[in-house]
A and B are shown apart, each in its own frame.
Chain A
Amino acid sequence: MSYKTQRKVIIFAFSAIPVILLFTFAYLPVFNMIKYSFTNWDGLSKHKEYIGFDNYKAIFTDPKYFSVFKVSLYYFVATFVQMGLALYFATILSYKLRLKNFFKGILFFPYLLNGVAIGFIFLFFFRPDGTLNTLLDLVGLGNLSHKWLLDTSTVNVALAGTSVWRYMGSNFIIFLGAISSIGKDVYEAADIDGANKWHQFRHIILPSIKKIVQLNLILAISGAISVFDIPYIMLGGSNGSNTFVIQTVDLAFKYGKYGLASAMAVVLLIIVIIVTLVQRLVIKGDD
């Protein structure tokens, strides 16, 4: 076979499966979802009745559906806390330090745990006679004790905190990798110029890992908007912890409202895309 033919064969052979998977499981669902969102389909019957924008109207006018957006805000804020912590620990652990590997391991380990295990661990942690309240008593802050998961004003803070605990390690280790790939000579030059640690962070570390931070932020934000595991495992979405995805899954699979669930998913998707685009523009504007 000539290289020209080989080229065609290999391009086709190596792309066929990924492309088929990509279109079947990434693009076709989006297309179908948009189609379903204009119907009152129950997910089972052969017949789908076209009802225009009624599903969308319901989502934006019925507070029962719209309130779940507010819950996302907790996770959204938590994302920035998570990124900040990850960046801080990655930076200090990239310098010389005692017990460096021990700290690295401990900070990263939670990320490797099973979501259900984490849900249970924190169900235990936040119980009225559980770990957190006992700890607060121990350090003399007993008056802060609380029924964390039963109180609608603290439930989402507790759950978002759990999410930070779970995912911080993954951001941390990726940042750490990116920082350690910066050449040593750059720091040496900076030292000679008399740059302190903050200058080094601001002018060497941050610019070098900007792309990675950006990618992580995008993934974290779309993750924040599509939270499912933790609140579902811990509370089944009760006590005001219902998120968008729990709502969507319940509507579709419990109540057979496929059309409405699809419309919710479309709204969610549009939000994720807008957030991502805005954020990319903002970060690009820095250059």
Chain B
Amino acid sequence: MYKLKYTSATVFKYLTLVLAALAAIIPILVVFFASLKDKTEYANSSPLAPPTNWLHFDNYQKAFVNGKMLLGFWNTFYILAISVVGAVLIGAMIAFVLNRFNFRGSKILMGAFLLATLIPSVTTQVATYKIVNALHLVDTPGAPIILYLGTDIIAVYIFIQFLDNISVSLDESAMLDGASYFTIFGRIIFPLLAPAIVTVIILKGVGVYNDFYTPFLYMPSDHLQVLSTALFKFKGPYGAQWEVISAAIIITIIPILIIFLSLQKYIYNGFAQGSEK
């Protein structure tokens, strides 16, 4: 009896896992299939049927060139690089101050950061737009960059949790050697935060890479298109050409897949350590 119950639980466990894996893969896989079919084959085959020629890359060429994907990649890349580096530095600095010093207003400051998480940024976008506009940043890469740098409570939260685990006696012994607070931060704390930094880089990087709303709203010019807005443009002129759209979708997925497969270990560790306690 015990044995039977144990086995059915195991079967159930694997069954749900396989179903979930299929649910995760199939929607992407069929798009990949479609991207390798030519117009006639696409029109005459079931979406679930694999392509007859696995090396038919015409759609990719069309999508890459006509969609100016290279420009999209470049714009995404440098906006992402600046935002992520900035967010890591700013986040680590404010977390250091909030975690290590007890000063008048430190509680209020922490509260102000926490309270800000209650405000979903999409709700305030109408007013934020006016502020960005007043700073003359609309339709420049400065707009998304400054918005991504803004209050990232998740980053601050992750850094603070890590700082909790870094003993204050480390700071104190450095102080006995005459190190300044800046040295302590730069030479001791910041390097020790490395795992947290990786987490924040991944979280922030994913957020920026995937964001559609901000570039769509703040950078309407063609030459400022990022990957999401470049992809979105396929909707109009290629509305009926799903084989080309599919190729464009796969083009945006490939870099993510490569990064994911090569950094998998760090991604999991980052998330695991970031969520401790």
Measured CB to CB, the residues of A under 8 A from B are: 1, 3, 6-7, 10-11, 13-15, 17-19, 21-22, 24-30, 32-33, 36, 43, 85, 88-89, 92-93, 97-98, 101-117, 120-122, 124-125, 129-131, 134-135, 138, 165, 169, 173-178, 180-181, 197, 211-212, 218-219, 222-223, 225-226, 228-229, 233, 245, 248-249, 252-253, 258, 261-262, 265, 268-269, 272-273, 276
Contact = CB atoms under 8 A, between A and B. Distances in A.
Interface residues of B, number: 90
B101 A11 contact: yes
A116 B26 contact: no
A116 B256 contact: no
Interface in B16-37: 16-17, 20-21, 23-28, 30-31, 34
Contact of B48 (A113, A138, A211): A138
Contact of A32 (B20, B127, B147, B268): B127
Given A177-B274, A181-B272, A122 B146 contact: no
Interface in B106-132: 109, 112-113, 116-131
B27 A125 contact: yes
A124 B24 contact: no
Nearest to A248: B126
Contacts of A1: 180
10 contacts: A14-B97, A15-B94, A24-B150, A29-B128, A32-B130, A36-B127, A101-B264, A115-B211, A116-B232, A268-B120
Contacts of A253: 129, 217
A109 B211 CA distance: 16
B232 A15 contact: no
B126 A258 contact: yes
Contacts of B77: none
Contacts of B182: 6, 10
Given A28-B127, A106-B21, A225-B120, 20 more contacts: A11-B101, A14-B185, A32-B127, A89-B16, A105-B264, A106-B24, A112-B206, A112-B260, A113-B210, A114-B227, A115-B211, A116-B252, A117-B252, A120-B31, A131-B30, A174-B274, A249-B217, A258-B126, A262-B126, A268-B120
A230 B200 CA distance: 25
B128 A25 contact: yes
B256 A107 contact: no
Nearest to A129: B47
Contacts of B81: none
Contacts of B273: 177
A56 B146 CA distance: 32
A10 B129 CA distance: 32
B231 interface: yes
